[in-house]
Amino acid sequence: MKFKSCAYCGEPANQKEHAIPKCLYPKSKSKSKLQRLTVPACNKCNNSWADDEAHSRNMLLLAGKKSSVVGELWETTRRSFDKVDGCKRLNDLFIQLKPVETPDGKQYMVYPGKDERVIRVVRKIVRGLCYHHNFISPVLECQVWADVMKFDVPQQFLDEMKQSHIESDIIEYRYQVLNESGIHSGWLLTFFDRCTFIALVSISKKGFKE
């Protein structure tokens, strides 16, 4: 790693970072190749994700219908609330709960796309995947715009994107290199087969602030 640059900031790397957070995988997926996908990182960048990644996992687990993988992962997550920082993690989730009126009465929902910590982790994943696919690197945080997908994607658009490392019960992502209008690439990332985010990567290091 000492001869490589950090995928996130460009400084000398001294360790590896999982491009897809390990916390998104239950024990039954421990041999997943995608889970083991790593990129070089410096100590500062590598240590800056852990809390946001765990929070993002919790938000994504609550945002949709239950599946076998989600159920298994939630059992592990639930036990983590008994640890030292468990109260903080529960409070972080609690403040994200929004009341919604339904035919069955009031229910509470979470909206990952409105949580900046979740969006930050989505940006981090895209940045790591840009390095993995030998695209531009490093990709700075300001170079990635991300939001939850709010409409159905036309099949023609999906067919034009490259689909890679499919594990739909955990994460599935597609991308297309554009290199036009200041945009390097577009990405679609779907977590747990239900929550999809769209991301754009800017060619400029000044990102989308120009």
End-to-end CA distance of the chain: 33
1: nearest Cα among 130, 131, 126, 123: 131
pLDDT confidence bin for 108, thresholds 50/70/90: confident
4-63 confidence digits (pLDDT tens): 899 999 999 999 999 999 999 988 887 777 778 899 999 999 988 889 999 999 999 998
Token pair 């083991």: residue: 36
Average pLDDT over residues 102-128: 92
**How remote is the C-alpha of 176 from its chain's centroid?**
18
A 10 A CB-CB count for 194 gives 14
Residue 95, H or E segment: none
Is the pLDDT at 209 greater than 70? The verdict is: no
Token pair 């554009």: residue: 178
Portion of the chain with pLDDT greater than 90, in percent: 58
Report, in angstroms and rounded to the nearest whole number, the Rg of the chain calculated over CA atoms. 17
46: nearest Cα among 10, 11, 8, 17: 17
200 near 161, Cβ under 8 Å?
no
